[in-house]
Homo-oligomer: A and B are copies of this chain.
Amino acid sequence: MKLSDRAINIQASPIRKLMPFANEAKKKGIHIYHLNIGQPDIETPKEMLDVYKNFEEKVLAYGPSQGLECYRKNLVNYYRKHNIELDIDDIIVTTAGSEAIVFALLTACNEDDEVIVPEPFYTNYNGFATMTGVKIVPLTTYAEDGFALPSNEKIRALINSKTKAIMLCNPGNPTGAVYPKEDIQRIADIAIENDLFVISDEVYREFVYDGLSHTSILDIEGMEDLAIMVDSISKRYSACGARIGCLISRNKNFITSTIKFAQARLCPPTIDQLAANAAIDIEEEYFKKIISEYDNRRNLVFEELQKIEDVICIKPKGAFYIIAKLPIDDAEHFAKWMLEEFSYENETVMFAPAQGFYATPELGKNEIRIAYILNKNDLKKAMKIFRKGLEKYKGLK
């Protein structure tokens, strides 16, 4: 029996597809600095891990489809701290941000409907689009201007009768771009004028540097019916393995319909929700320390990149990624070469070729994404090896 077209056509993870080469390198005894994935090395807060240790129920039971009430209540407190007033029923707890995006697409779009997404974008949006039969229409942004949002004209030119939503990632993975309030307002204005949902993926909302503040789509007046926010605890609390996220909207119809999708899969994991719940009461000090740690890492990686000739890279303002345009033709080939043929003092570096983050063919071929998720010592060594590798690779051509 033939598999479905969508199973054949769905994009293989461009981040994970280099793993076999990494495994081969490891077998040869080469140590790899992993700058390719968004798995932070930061410790998960003790308050969360204690919840697992202290779970005393005798039966590990289903929770409500919309999420545990205690957790949704506490999420209201979390967003209040960030000046976002919500009702507990505006929130659906999901199995990580991934499920929230799938639910948002299912509720906003029919099959073959279109969603406008600034590219480069989080590569798994492609998978979610395939799963839901939605077409992603890319809105190209450029390394040269820090991946800023294009003009209203460029955005409007992509809207047609099939367009149902604009989907943003802010702060951006893989770009590190943080959209200023004016840009979020521009998007909102265009959404209102064309009656489009805005699905705003804000899983990096706390990770903003240089004293900037983050603008949520939920902050914008007049967007009550159109704003859909996606969030996750994975990066905020370095708890990627808990798989807890949420979908938020003040549009009651949207939530009521989305709950029906949530009911079909019964509920998100129970103890992990309790752990997420405990995380909300962690003191501000925790974040200040972490944000400052990432800020230092960002500065380090950026400075190291600046030392390399012909690398184009504007300093990112948020998240923990940086995209660099390299003076080579094929970043994927380079990434493979770094794993298969290069090492320096028995070590090498793995990063993500950026082409997989673009929907427009051929774009991003000479770009890479670096995730600065290692401590500064390791990052420093990794960036040195990266530079040495790039120099040697250029010499080969």
Contacts and interface: CB of A to CB of B under 8 A. Distances in A.
Interface residues of A, number: 81
Given A266-B98, A270-B242, A261 B10 contact: yes
A251 to B, nearest CB: 8
A60 B48 contact: yes
B53 A39 contact: no
A114 to B, nearest CB: 13
Interface string A57-71: 011111101000000
Interface stretch (A104-112, A144-152, A376-384): A104-112
A132 B105 CA distance: 12
Interface stretch (A11-19, A76-84, A336-344): A11-19
Contacts of A63: 241
Contacts of A271: 52, 241-242, 271-272
Interface in A1-31: 1, 3-8, 10-13, 16
A113 interface: yes
Contacts of A98: 264-266
A61 B272 contact: no
Given A60-B275, A241-B269, A243-B267, 17 more contacts: A4-B107, A6-B106, A6-B111, A44-B60, A53-B55, A59-B238, A60-B239, A60-B240, A96-B265, A124-B265, A124-B266, A126-B264, A131-B132, A131-B264, A241-B267, A242-B270, A269-B272
Interface of A: 1, 3-8, 10-13, 16, 37, 39-44, 48-49, 52-55, 58-63, 65, 95-96, 98-99, 102, 106-111, 113, 124, 126-128, 130-133, 164, 195-197, 225-226, 238-243, 253-254, 257-258, 260-261, 263-272, 275
Given A1-B197, A60-B241, A196-B1, A131 B261 contact: yes
A314 B13 CA distance: 50
A55 B58 contact: no
Q: Name the 5 nearest CB pairs between A and B, nearest first.
A: A127-B264, A241-B270, A7-B257, A98-B265, A7-B107
Contacts of A258: 7
Contact of A59 (B44, B60, B126, B270): B44
Contacts of A275: 60
Nearest to A196: B1
6 contacts: A1-B108, A1-B196, A1-B197, A4-B106, A44-B58, A128-B264
* Residue among A42, A55, A271, A275 facing the most chain B CB atoms (10 A cut-off): A271
B61 A260 contact: no
B106 A7 contact: yes
A257 B124 contact: no
A236 B210 CA distance: 52
B267 A4 contact: no
A268 B243 contact: yes
Nearest to A257: B7
A344 to B, nearest CB: 27
B61 A241 contact: yes
* Residue among A49, A268, A275 facing the most chain B CB atoms (10 A cut-off): A49
A381 to B, nearest CB: 20
A170 B229 CA distance: 39
Contacts of A240: 60-62, 266
Contacts of A132: 131
Contacts of A6: 106, 110-111
B60 A238 contact: yes
A269 B359 CA distance: 29
